[in-house]
Amino acid sequence: MQSNVFHQASYTFKYLWIKGNSPLHFITDDSFILNILTAACSGVLSFSINDDQRYLENNENILLSVKKGEEIIIKNDNTSDLSLLILYPKIGLSPIPQEIQNTIQLLPGGHITKKDNRLHLLFEQLCESTQVIPVRGLTQEIILLKISLLQIQSLIHPENLKGSLNNIHHEKIILAKEIIEQDLSKNYTIPELAKLIGTNVQYLKKHFKQHFNQTILSYSTERKMVYAKELILTGNYRVADVARMTGYKHSTHFTTAFKRYYGFIPNSLRQQ
């Protein structure tokens, strides 16, 4: 015979939207399960825990364990980015079962989950719920519970996990970017860059575009053109010199590329 006993709803959490690319900086006042979700992230979200910096791509979320007194800094790449931060307390009520919390504690790098269409829809509903004032609080909590459930299901079913957070690919892409920038008089091919950073062409092309929302060619051209404009505006260099310093063998090729990028020829800067 079933006893008539009231059951306490097993959830409580804190949440915060992170809008734009102004850093969020706080010190944890308790031990938490930290859930960072990239709601509408066009670039890379960076976060650090006690100066240990990590990164999330625009289709990734992470669940990890944090202790009381830890310093957390979270920053989106772009002003249009939107991320969601949820804190589940370890002591007290939580939608995350204790056995799952214990698993997370054993993995310092945390668990990465991938964003899917269900999460996209929930993010949209969460944004819309902020406009419905009479039921705003309750509606948001229900949606957040659904988001939490999806994250927990990814933990219960390991085949859905992408794996622990790995910064190796980010470091390689950053290195490729630095190689391009350190000498703009050079024109690296993609195979050359891939060899220099220790990866293959497809890997480099894919992750560079994901990290910087630009192809390697468009990024290289942008840096060369910005640098060329700065050089010309100093008044200390001829167009032929600037062409050579930005990797163009012929000044006519440089002038064509400059006009294509800016809409005017280099010499017109001298007349301003």
Given this chain, do its domains 14-160 and 168-271 carry the same CATH topology? no
The CATH code for residues 168-271 is: 1.10.10.60
Q: How far apart are CA 43 and CA 100, in angstroms?
A: 30
- What residue type is 261 in one-letter code? Y
Superfamily of domain 14-160: Nucleoplasmin core domain (2.60.120.340)
Q: How far apart are CA 59 and CA 211, in angstroms?
A: 11
Residue whose tokens read 């910087």? 212
Q: How far apart are CA 140 and CA 143, in angstroms?
A: 5
- 166-172 — which CB contacts under 8 Å span 24+ positions? 166/109, 167/54, 167/55, 169/203, 169/207, 170/44, 170/55, 170/207, 170/211, 172/197, 172/198, 172/199, 172/204, 172/207
User: What's residue 271's pLDDT?
Assistant: 61
Divide the 272 residues of the chain into consecutive groups of 10 and give the mean pLDDT of each group. Answer: 58 83 90 86 80 78 88 88 86 69 66 79 75 59 84 63 48 87 93 88 83 85 92 91 94 93 87 58
User: What's residue 73's pLDDT?
Assistant: 93
CA atoms within 13 A on the CB side of 243: 18
Answer whether 0.75 is exceeded by the pTM: no
Structure tokens at 8: 């306490």
* Residue spans per domain, the chain: 14-160, 168-271
User: What's residue 246's pLDDT?
Assistant: 95
The 10 Å CB-count burial string (b at 16+, else e) for 47-80 is bbbeeeebbbbbebbbbbbbeeebebebbbbeee
User: What's residue 179's pLDDT?
Assistant: 93
47 strand-pairing partners:
54, 74
- What residue type is 58 in one-letter code? N
User: What's residue 192's pLDDT?
Assistant: 93
Residues 6+ apart with CB under 8 A from 196: 175, 176, 179, 188
Q: Read off the DSSP letter of residue 25.
A: E
